[in-house]
A = this chain, B = another copy of it.
Amino acid sequence: MLFKEQVQRYFESLQDHISASLEALDGKARFIEDVWEHHTGGGGKTRIIQNGAVFEKGGVNFSAVWGLLPEKMAAKMNTDVTPYFATGVSVVIHPYSPMIPTVHCNYRYFEQYHPDGSVKTAWFGGGADLTPYYPFLEDIQHFHRVHKAACDKHHPDFYPKFKAWCDEYFFIAHRNETRGVGGIFFDYLKENLSATFEFVKSCGDAFTQAYIPIVERRRHEPFGEKEKHFQRLRRGRYVEFNLVYDRGTLFGLETRGRVESILMSLPKEAAWEYNYTPPPDSREAVLLRCLKPRDWLNETAL
């Protein structure tokens, strides 16, 4: 089997594992699946969960597409218009309860070819990050600890490096705040592709262990309309990040990907209020202190 086929197979099995685990956890809603084809080649399977007992809206998507790089994208990537192949799995889960964080992970593999069809360049990218509304230190530390363990199996430098990259990538520059409390992120990993694939598998496999215990711990935490309102305002920031900065989203839109699959990352509801700032000693103000790079595994308080 070609290397890219092995990667594609793994991403498909990861989609199955994650969607089955989340469905079991929700207990009420089922994922619906839409199978689609990409206009230049390949396609994907979009799985969406909506209005569940735990999950308000979320998607677990797989795709493997190919074609010619659109000119605009090639320019952004500092490369020529050549054939490419891209496969990946992409997860965004927005729970109903503001006590449970939104979570995202995405792992992808990209190949670009010479005109004769030989591989010109290939790389892995991906990561996972957590976006709490009402943060709990033990949840944040759990998410980071599980990802650190996945990294440490492969190289002691990986976690510190990819944790820092995550803080840098998921940064809403115009708000001067991070999207959430981070996790890991990496892109354009071109060396030792087989070893990197093993690393990506460790990260992908870590996702459910990193997230499910948080959901279980927080699903019965009480909240009211005030907390839902704050969650909607913060989901507005999530929308801002995804539409203004997220490379995957913009790549998808520019390659005329399937819009409903790409924008499954957007929350069911978002709100904007002019100049909203939480009162200094409120629970809401605690979140804002978390939206900057912090050494979570060594923190003792939020």
Question: Chain A interface (Cβ within 8 Å of chain B)?
Answer: 34, 48, 50, 57, 59, 173-175, 232, 236, 239-240, 243-244, 250, 253, 256, 259-260, 262-264, 266-275
Determine if B239 and A270 form an interchain contact, defined as CB atoms under 8 angstroms apart: yes
Determine if A274 and B270 form an interchain contact, defined as CB atoms under 8 angstroms apart: no
Determine if A273 and B50 form an interchain contact, defined as CB atoms under 8 angstroms apart: yes
Residues of B within 8 A of A266 (CB): 236, 272
Residues of B within 8 A of A270 (CB): 236, 239, 269-272
Determine if A268 and B271 form an interchain contact, defined as CB atoms under 8 angstroms apart: yes
Contact of A272 among B250, B267, B273 (CB under 8 A): B267
- Write the chain B residue with the least CB distance to A50: B274
Residues of B within 8 A of A34 (CB): 275
| Cβ of A98 to closest chain B Cβ, rounded Å | 16
Residues of B within 8 A of A173 (CB): 253
Q: What would 14 A/B residue contacts be, using CB atoms closer than 8 Å?
A: A48-B274, A50-B274, A173-B253, A174-B253, A175-B259, A240-B263, A243-B244, A244-B244, A263-B272, A264-B274, A267-B272, A268-B273, A269-B270, A269-B271
Which of the listed residues A256, A267, A273, A274 has the most CB atoms from chain B within 10 Å of its own CB? A274
CA separation between A302 and B50, bound complex, in Å? 33
